Amino acid sequence: MGLAADLGARAVLLGTAVLCGQLSVGWSNDAIDAPLDIAAARRDKPIALGQVDRRLVATCAAAALLGDIPLSLAVGTRPGLLHLAAVALAWSYNLGLKRTPASPLPYAAAFGLVPVVVAAAKPGSPSPRAALVVAGIACGIAAHFANTVGDTAEDALTGVRGLPQRLGPARSTVVAGGFIAAAAVAVLVAVGPRPLPVAAAVIDVALAASIPSLLRGPAARRRAFRLVIAAVAVLVVAFVVAGGSKLT
């Protein structure tokens, strides 16, 4: 999105800042949840398996977070602060919001900030099109609900009771599909009826409609997050190729 918005070399700087922020989020999540992951005997967590020390992971998370501050602000004060706000939202999820009915809020707000951050990095720091913010919010909520579907058993053991866990896997897949469809429509509204965005919207709406029927059974449900990520990727490619100039 940064390249499509003509940020030039600053797009690389922004990408580095985002990567650093995401490393801090991922590492902090595993460090914070380590006792619960060990209790649940999770086989997909290196700390729980004893392959890496929890303190080392926590130190790396803190270092990545501290490094993200100057990297973000180097892009610009306004976009930098907005990006750091998105990272803070992700940390708030890790620190406890994921165990409450408010669990979708950090995802919705952080994903919604993506076009805001990119637009703020442009000269004059304009605001992005509202439809793109809506698309970001919808993608975030879809990702959250899809991401929890494959961890239903583990979440039950560790006491994670976010909104998707309260609704259950079947309903969560329906919610994820619905928000993917909403995101596709929002991107189409933002960039106009061009061939590529129209094709992307059709693909994503069809995918969203098929998600509930495709994801029956515990093993199949683990594909939910990958399907949603693929759908989001289609939208991003469509926006960058056909509508990067429509950011603001």
* Mean of pLDDT over the chain: 87
> For residues 167, 133, 225 and 50, what is the CA-based torsion angle, rounded to 10 degrees?
-90
Q: Is residue 2 part of a domain?
A: no
Q: What is the mean pLDDT of residues 199-222?
A: 71
Count of the separate structural domains present in the chain: 1
Domain that holds residue 211: 9-246
Q: Is residue 14 part of a domain?
A: yes
pLDDT at 194: 79
Q: What are the tens digits of pLDDT across the range 38-67?
A: 888 888 889 999 999 999 999 999 999 999
Entry field: residues in the chain: 248
Whose structure tokens read 């061009």? 194
CATH number of residue 63's parent domain:
1.10.600
- Return the structure tokens found at 193: 């009826």
Which residue, 36, 241, 2, 238, is CA-closest to 114?
Answer: 2
Is the per-residue pLDDT at 239 higher than 80? no
Tell me if 72 sits within 8 A of 84, measured CB to CB.
Answer: yes
Q: Amino acid identity of 199?
A: A
- Return the structure tokens found at 235: 């939208």
More confident residue, 139 or 169: 139
Chain centre to alpha carbon of residue 176: 13
Name the DSSP letter for residue 112: H
Q: Is residue 3 part of a domain?
A: no
Q: Is residue 121 part of a domain?
A: yes
Q: Is residue 126 part of a domain?
A: yes
CA–CA distances in Å: residue 105 to residues 89, 108, 111, 221, 228: 9, 5, 10, 23, 18
Q: Is residue 34 part of a domain?
A: yes
CA–CA distances in Å: residue 176 to residues 108, 151, 180, 238: 12, 15, 6, 20
pLDDT at 152: 65
- Return the structure tokens found at 129: 């099109």
- Return the structure tokens found at 79: 């976009």
Q: Is residue 4 part of a domain?
A: no
Q: Is residue 120 part of a domain?
A: yes
Q: What is the pTM of this model?
A: 0.88
Is the per-residue pLDDT at 184 higher than 80? yes
Q: What are the tens digits of pLDDT across the range 10-45?
A: 999 999 999 999 999 999 999 999 998 888 888 888
